[in-house]
Amino acid sequence: MYRGKSILELRESLDNGNVTSEELFGSANKLAHYFQEDYNSFVTIIDKCKVKRSNSLISGIPYALKDNFSTTGILTTGSSNILKDYVPVYDATVYKKLKRAGGVLVGKTVLDELAMGGTGTTGHTGIVRNPWDKERQIGGSSAGSAASVALGIVPFSIGSDTGDSVRKPASFGGIVGFKPTYGLISRYGMFAFASSLDHVATLTRNVRDAAIVTDILKGQDPKDMVTLKDDGKKYVDTLDNDIKGRKLFYIKEICDLDLYKDSGDSELIEVLEKFHELLDKCREMGFVVEEVSVDKDLFNAIYPTYMCISCAEATSNNANLTGIQFGPRGEGNSIEEIMFDARTKGFSELIKRRFILGSYILQKENQEKLFLNACRVRHMIVDKITELFKEYDGMILPASGGIAPKFDEKDEKLSDRYLLLENHLAIGNFGGFPSITLPFAFVSDMPVGINITGGVKCDDIVLNMAERIEELTGYKDIYAKVGDIDV
């Protein structure tokens, strides 16, 4: 009965007295347990309902939180063995704000270990499966957060997004993923991965719910020095604004069908065909949509630039995971031996590979050539897009070149599709631009997302445009109706 409902639908049922928040929690809790074995959304499912009512729109509404947000007294693992028994003694600002607003925590969700990676397969408690097809990935790193919303367990969840970690799984899961402007939401208490790229982001089933949650989370926090002064805006208030004349661009080098005609990649071609159909509908609605051409080399550079910067920052940020302050203690007779043992046993292969890369990039003799050059290229990309945002309100692109991959599918990392279509979402992190993904098509019975990215601090405009486009897609409020359960 309450499965798959949006925040506003649940709000109405609560306000009408048709249901209590305890009942809503009970239903979400049942769903969480029911789907856990098959989909593995959660590291921890909370079985005790704690409701603190407020007059906010999410008061009494269940939600899920990625397991890289600190929660006092509740296990917080980052889905890593190195933190498998870590119980924080303080709350992340986001968690504090949601508690204050009356949100009811249903569980802590599985991520790719320490939020690195994008497959949902590297968490220490096992792989997360895609609710639309169990044989496929949901993507990551906010894998469990996306799966719990796509299964209809909770109407919203919180994730983190450093390169695409909310917006890519949103695309694979047929839901909405919104990463606001850098600094809009405090990251205090969220495990740092790459601080210059890290954002708190939301997963919901429609754009309006994304605005509702962002309105609650935004605001300056002295505990996160990059947080912005409150802009005083309520994003839900401007969702209905007229979009006539709003200007969108897409990038020829990424979405020109002719470029891929002979590739034999039928999935990609179908995504692009449907993308261009959607653009026509946007034009009919009153948007101005134009094609722009950008130096392809700049886009080919996104992935290596992202890897250089994120691995370097991650290596430095995670140097505190020594097996001494937090997590299981390593064995050995000296501090070095204890750390060596804890880190050897505590990290999976992907994390070790990234720390080796990061250490290499940060070595004195490599800093100029690798780290600082990557920072320069990042600047060039951001400058180019910022220049376009002077003329346009947003950039519109498919969030991915295809549907969620199967577990054994490997990315062809040097292909145009990978370098261009699978990595452009990192532009949003490079520039701190607000960026949203919402479902716009189905290909081979799997959802595909469209992404809209706008200028810094134009979150209201991005959400407003996305809500209008949501009307055109016909895929608002969808979720995977699997399982034989109705609660």
Residues catalogued as catalytic: 66, 141, 165
**For the window 162-191, what string marks contact with ligand GLN as x by the rule CB under 6 A?**
xxxx--------------------------
432 binding ligand GLN? (CB under 6 A): no
Nearer to ligand GLN, 208 or 354 (CB): 354
* Interaction of residue 202 with ligand GLN, rule CB under 6 A: no
Closest distance of CB 366 from ligand GLN, Å: 20
Radius of gyration (C-alpha) of the chain in whole angstroms:
21
Phi, psi of 288 (to 5 degrees): -95, 125
Give CA–CA dist 279/283, Å, rounded. Answer: 6
Q: Is the dihedral of CA 39, 44, 49, 52 positive or negative?
A: negative
Question: How many residues touch ligand GLN (CB under 6 A)?
Answer: 13
Decide: is 302 part of the binding site for ligand GLN (CB under 6 A).
Answer: no
Distance linking the first and last C-alpha atoms of the chain: 5
**How far apart are the C-alpha atoms of 452 and 455, rounded to whole Å?**
10
Please state, in angstroms and rounded to a whole number, the distance separating the CA atoms of residues 93 and 150.
Answer: 25
Task: Rule CB under 6 A: say whether 115 interacts with ligand GLN.
Answer: yes
CB-side neighbour CA atoms (13 Å) of 487: 21
- Exposure letters 35-74 (e unless 16+ CB within 10 A, then b): beeebbbbbbbbeebebeeeebbbbbbbbbbbbbbbbeeb
Nearest to 44 by CA among 58, 28, 24, 64: 64
| Closer CB to ligand GLN, 164 or 477, in the complex | 164
The C-alpha atoms of residue 268 and residue 421 are separated, in whole angstroms, by 9
Residue that is written with structure tokens 């003329």 in the block: 391
- In the complex, the smallest distance separating the C-beta of residue 79 from ligand GLN, rounded to whole angstroms, is 12
- In the region spanning residues 320 to 379, those forming contacts with ligand GLN, defined by CB under 6 A, are none
Of residues 191 and 249, the one with the C-beta less far from ligand GLN: 191
CB atoms within 10 A of CB 375: 14
d(CA 448, CA 443): 7
**Binding to ligand GLN by residue 422, rule CB under 6 A?**
no
- Out of 310, 322, 400, 437, name the contact with ligand GLN by CB under 6 A: 310
Q: 19, 104, 116, 158: which one contacts ligand GLN (CB under 6 A)?
A: 116
From 71-79, 160-168, 256-264, 330-338, give the range in contact with ligand GLN by CB under 6 A: 160-168
Closest CA to 397 of 265, 486, 279: 279
Least distance (Å) between residue 139 CB and ligand GLN:
8
Among 117, 173, 330, 431, contact with ligand GLN (rule: CB under 6 A) = 117
- Choices 157-165, 284-292, 406-414, 470-478 (CB under 6 A): range interacting with ligand GLN: 157-165
CA distances to 10, 57, 73, 104, 278 from 60, rounded to whole Å, are: 9, 9, 21, 6, 37
Rank residues 265 and 422 by Cβ distance to ligand GLN and give the closer one.
422
Report the residue number, 120 or 330, with the smaller CB distance to ligand GLN.
Answer: 120
Instruction: Quote the least distance from Cβ 44 to ligand GLN, whole Å.
Output: 20
Chain residues in the site for ligand GLN (CB under 6 A): 115-118, 141, 160-165, 193, 310
